Chains A and B, each alone.
Chain A
Amino acid sequence: MRFSFFHLMPYGVVDLDAIEHTAWINFSNSNYDPKEGHKLYNRYLDELEYADELGFDGICVNEHHQTAYGIMPQPSVLAGALSRRTKNAKICVLGRALPLTENPLSIAEEYAMIDNVTGGRLIAGFVRGIGCEYHSYMVNPSSSLAKFHEAHELIMQAWTQPGPTSFEGKYYRFQYVNMWPRPYQEPHPPVWIPSQGSSETKDWASHPDRKYTMLMTFSPIANVVRNMNAYSDKCDEYGYKCQPDQLGWALPLYVAETDEKAINEARPHIENFFNKFVLAPTEYRMPPGYSSINSYKMIMENKMKFREQYLTIEMLMENGMFICGSPSTVAERLEGYQEQMGYGNLVIMGQFATLDHEHTKKSMQMFAEEVMPRLRHIGEPNAAAAE
């Protein structure tokens, strides 16, 4: 099993009462104080660096715009900072949102630079970005999926084909694709696809030409199980055995000395996360064309209904969107789920919403020292099955 530590970098000092309608898009940045921001960025970078010291295999950043939910609109800036301050952990950008940029080659360049500076420690995440970003960036959501695929194709061409080459797409056209630097890793950095589990994503990521790691993010456990199993089934259909490394699970997680203590310490912060920082009306999350009409209807039916109610820590633990407890409770749950799903990557978000530095560090340390060793041996590549 590989363990990564993921940070959203929330604006945790936000006035929670100010978040009435949403924390996204048009939640005024007069609620943001740069002096606090300065402290938070440095604190959060310390936490990511601490994860490296503790022996996490990866440290992860990601991209969101115009929100108190996460203040990393340009994650590669922070990935760059981490490149020099850490020595061992993979640096995972999960991810850059390909359709949001006019020029996907800029993402290929950022990633290749990080990969060169670190000598091959980059994990390249590609996402479309959630619906809210399409309001913030005014990018037409109806071409999001097509642009994602075209941008991916362009980046792979830039990374793997000796330049100059040319690229003629519907959305992107380049006479000279000839990127300096080329990525350090051959043929290119490993690719992770954070996903909520659409069938199109599974079919695409698991394709034998790609075998990209599908990282299930912030989903109820029933969804996670169903989607990971469906990914594995798809690999079977393609004629190969899914490797543990191809499956990842990302979720908020908190460890303390006892179950009771863990729940007490995490409660206000995880409830703030799911009830305040995530808060955005349907129209904010689901701009027209971001998904197919059928997916739109399904998401409205399932997810939105669930999120209409106040989510308590008990509800979140019950449906597996949050794991919390003593080291042995957490280890047992993760082990049980791993047996069901076969994942080889676990990505924990060890800081969420308003959780303070001391508790974040304590939980991280307990996880690294008391949970990770118990799970190390599971979810490793199966040499025989790889044949």
Chain B
Amino acid sequence: MAGHKAETINVNGCATEVRRGGSGAPLLFLHGAGGISAWAPYLDALAKRYDVIAPSHPGFGGSDDPEWLDNISDMAFFYLDFMEEFGLEDVHLLGNSLGGWIASEIAVRSTDRIKTLTLVSAAGVNVVGVPMGDIFLWSNEEAARQMFFNQEMAEQRIAAAEGMTDEQKDVQLKNYFTTGKLSWNPRFHNPGLVKWLHRIKVPTMLLWGENDNIFPPVYGEAYRDAIPGSELWIIPECGHLPHQEKLDEFLAGVDANTSKN
């Protein structure tokens, strides 16, 4: 396992939990609705190639839940501050699901510090006529089953949840509450975002599970059609979390994109 450290830093008054490890070009990993609870295998794998910076978003994990946080726009501007604060330049920006939405909202505002953009099963856009999965009506068990193509992984997830500490359950609730706040309506997207995605001119990779039940692959196509020069990789037999379910394909997709710039 590559070495990593976890620390809490202050970004404009918001105490922010940041995990960092590995070496190489900086890669900012923006997590999805479930948050980051540990230095996960996919972070460790990325850390073999990159200097991985994995914060918990405001309102998630061990980070503050600041008064000013109302919507994804706030989150995007926060991360522009965050990159300044960290002195990050030439960043490979990677976001999964909710984090992918944040990443694209950052990139339409400014790519000054961004070298490449990788969106993994990203929220943010809507495809009329193809409903998203409604995670807010799913029980934890149902959500786990919907999240994975490989149902053995789903069952492992469900079994692991039984052993959660109270503290971990509290964090899970906090993440759930903030996710609701940010994405209730419009559900997991910003209707205006698609109008400005053409502003993203850095190499962009869209990684999508073929069997994503939350944002089906046509959501990836919608991103591809809106971001000039972007590339969409559909990963077979894979649900909403390619970095967990298909780690090798995920890494190959990230590398294919970062090597372009």
A and B are interacting partners: yes
A: residues with CB less than 8 A from B are 25-26, 134-135, 138-143, 281-284, 287-289, 293, 296-297
The residue of chain B having its C-beta at the shortest distance from the C-beta of A292 within the complex is B177
101-160 of chain B: CB within 8 A of chain A: 136-139
Report the Cα distance A287→B181, complex, angstroms.
Answer: 10
Would you call A284 and B137 a contact (CB within 8 A)?
Answer: yes
Would you call B181 and A282 a contact (CB within 8 A)?
Answer: no
Q: Which one, A142, A282, A293, A297, contacts B184 given CB within 8 A? A: A142
CB distance from A308 to the nearest CB of B (A): 13
Report the Cα distance A58→B173, complex, angstroms.
Answer: 41
Would you call B173 and A296 a contact (CB within 8 A)?
Answer: yes
Q: Which one, A25, A281, A287, A297, contacts B173 given CB within 8 A? A: A297
Would you call B137 and A288 a contact (CB within 8 A)?
Answer: no
Residues A288 and B139 in contact in the complex (CB < 8 Å), given A138-B187, A293-B170, A293-B173: no
Residues A287 and B136 in contact in the complex (CB < 8 Å), given A138-B184, A138-B187, A142-B180: yes
The residue of chain B having its C-beta at the shortest distance from the C-beta of A26 within the complex is B137
Report the Cα distance A139→B180, complex, angstroms.
Answer: 11
Contact with A along B168-206 (1 / 0, CB 8 A): 001001101101110011010000000000000000000
Report the Cα distance A281→B134, complex, angstroms.
Answer: 14
Report the Cα distance A140→B181, complex, angstroms.
Answer: 7
Q: How many residues of B contact A (CB 8 A)?
A: 15
Chain B residues whose CB sits within 8 angstroms of the CB of A281 once the complex forms: 137, 139
Residues A289 and B180 in contact in the complex (CB < 8 Å), given A138-B187, A140-B185: yes
Report the Cα distance A284→B142, complex, angstroms.
Answer: 14
Chain A residues whose CB sits within 8 angstroms of the CB of B173 once the complex forms: 293, 296-297
Report the Cα distance A288→B143, complex, angstroms.
Answer: 15
Would you call A288 and B180 a contact (CB within 8 A)?
Answer: yes
Report the Cα distance A26→B136, complex, angstroms.
Answer: 13
28 A/B residue pairs, CB under 8 Å, sorted by A:
A25-B137, A134-B184, A135-B136, A138-B187, A140-B180, A140-B185, A141-B180, A142-B177, A142-B180, A142-B181, A143-B181, A281-B139, A283-B136, A283-B138, A283-B139, A284-B137, A287-B180, A288-B136, A288-B181, A289-B177, A289-B180, A289-B181, A293-B170, A293-B173, A293-B174, A293-B177, A296-B173, A297-B173
B: residues with CB less than 8 A from A are 136-139, 170, 173-174, 176-177, 179-181, 184-185, 187
Report the Cα distance A282→B176, complex, angstroms.
Answer: 14
Residues A288 and B185 in contact in the complex (CB < 8 Å), given A135-B137, A283-B136, A293-B170: no
CB distance from B231 to the nearest CB of A (A): 34
The residue of chain B having its C-beta at the shortest distance from the C-beta of A282 within the complex is B139
Chain A residues whose CB sits within 8 angstroms of the CB of B176 once the complex forms: 288
Q: Which one, A25, A26, A139, A284, contacts B185 given CB within 8 A? A: A139
Report the Cα distance A139→B184, complex, angstroms.
Answer: 7
Report the Cα distance A296→B177, complex, angstroms.
Answer: 10
Chain A residues whose CB sits within 8 angstroms of the CB of B187 once the complex forms: 138
CB distance from A376 to the nearest CB of B (A): 47
Chain B residues whose CB sits within 8 angstroms of the CB of A288 once the complex forms: 136, 176-177, 179-181
Report the Cα distance A350→B86, complex, angstroms.
Answer: 65
The residue of chain A having its C-beta at the shortest distance from the C-beta of B185 within the complex is A138
The residue of chain B having its C-beta at the shortest distance from the C-beta of A170 within the complex is B70
Known: A139-B184, A288-B136. 8 other contacts (CB 8 A): A140-B184, A140-B185, A142-B177, A142-B184, A287-B180, A288-B177, A288-B179, A293-B173
